[in-house]
Amino acid sequence: MSSYVKQDEARIERLLLEAFERDTDRSMAHYAMGVLRRSQNRFAEAQIEFEAAIALDRNDALAMIQLGNILRYLGQPEAAIPYVAKAIRLNPRDPNIVSYFCLGCCHVLLGNVDQAIELLRKARAANPRFWIIQLYLAVALGLRGDLDEARLALSESLTLEAEVSSLARMRAYLPFLTHPQHLALADETLDAGLRRAGFPDE
């Protein structure tokens, strides 16, 4: 959200490297570096950092959720699910918006439509103004053939984020979804569900 992303990222990296010079065994420092690498779309490095954070703190739910997201971006939804599910178990009273959303996305990519819808509805109940939840719910409903409800969810998504109005614009807006392995899974799931809901390619 910063107007000076590159400068901010460079400063964050300098500060984190200083922290690592003093102590490499801080889970939170590895978590923060993982978030930075994720924001730079350096997913392999982000994965290493989140795995290091979890190795140092087996109850680091935040790192587990982020590792799940990274594995999803890399087109490995099955590998992502256990991490995110454990994060939910560690924080059962948390609204778990991101966790349920991530799990729902994983099940979309795996074609487990009913599970995806249940999880995405939980995420939407926690925050109905998070546009991307509405978008993925439209995908899952479209895949199941509930087209009226899919179109309604898509309309809600477009109301909240008008810029994401086609598959091409979605990929430009969400560059972390363009890893080849993710795209291969998305072709028959994410893209197909959106097309059924009436989302154009361009």
Domain housing 128: 95-202
Residue type, 148: D
Is 9 inside any structural domain? no
Q: How confident is the model at residue 107 (pLDDT cuts 50, 70, 90)?
A: very high
Between CA 66 and CA 68 the distance in angstroms is 5
Between vectors from CA 153 to CA 80 and to CA 112, what angle results, nearest 5°?
35
- CA gap 166, 47 in Å, rounded: 29
Q: How far apart are CA 52 and CA 48, in angstroms?
A: 6
Q: Does residue 31 belong to any structural domain of this protein?
A: no
pLDDT tens digits for range 52-104 = 999 999 999 999 999 999 999 999 999 999 999 999 999 888 877 899 999 99
In a domain, 58, yes or no: no
**Is residue 74 assigned to a domain?**
no
Q: What is the 3-state secondary structure (H, E, C) of 69-106?
A: HHHHHCCCHHHHHHHHHHHHHHCCCCCCHHHHHHHHHH
Structure tokens at 28: 């939170």
Average pLDDT over residues 32-41: 93
* pLDDT for 118 beyond 80: yes
Tell me if 171 is assigned to some domain. yes
pLDDT of residue 4: 61
Taking the mean position of all CA atoms in its chain, how far away is CA 60? 18
- Tell me the pTM: 0.91
Structural domain includes residue 151? yes
* 152 or 11: which leads in pLDDT: 152
Evaluated on CA atoms 39, 40, 44, 46, the torsion sign reads: negative
Q: Tell me, what CATH number does 154's domain have?
A: 1.25.40.10
43 belongs to a structural domain: no
How many CA atoms does the CB half-sphere of 105 hold within 13 Å?
Answer: 30
Does the pLDDT at position 1 exceed 60?
Answer: no
Does residue 21 sit within a domain? Answer: no
Structurally, the chain folds into a number of domains equal to: 1
